[in-house]
Amino acid sequence: MTFCKRERAKTDRMAVLDYITKKEAYGATDEEIQAALNLSPNTERPRRIELVAQGLVEKSGIARLTSSHRKAAVWVATGKNYSRGFHKEPRPNKKACIAAGMELDGKLRRFDGHLDATPGTEQVIFWLKRGCP
């Protein structure tokens, strides 16, 4: 890889991380990242894989449908720092988790034995899956 390509990869990697970070707990699928940053799948996916390997991005455990109606993993920032001083909010404390649980309880409803989440609960579910302190 030439110097120019390495610099481009670094720039693309930071753009992918910045985009995922801005999406906070809602996260982003590969397809959403590609569309927002105008990157080809063969450019975006390796940059996201590098971020996963560095521990800066992880699967949220949530899946969303792509434009072709297939399930895709949602990626979120882990909150670890990188060399440019990136910092994500710390994990919520117990009080925040209790409040999130109460909000989730109000937004979920039972339907045919399955939990059906109304829009806006993905962030709450994300933090509850991560665990309360």
Please state, for a pLDDT cut of 90, what percent of the chain lies above it. Answer: 41
Provide CATH 1.10.10.10 ranges for the chain: 3-77
CATH classification for the domain delimited by 3-77, as one of 1.10.10.10, 1.10.510.10, 1.10.645.10, 3.30.360.10: 1.10.10.10
Q: Using one digit for the tens of pLDDT, what is the confidence trace for 56-96? A: 999 988 999 999 999 999 999 988 765 544 444 455 566 66
The rounded radius of gyration (Å) of the Cα atoms in the chain is 17
Q: What is the pTM of this model?
A: 0.60
Mean pLDDT of the chain: 76
41 vs 132, higher pLDDT: 41
DSSP string, 10-51: HHHHHHHHHHHHHTGGG-B-HHHHHHHHT--HHHHHHHHHHH
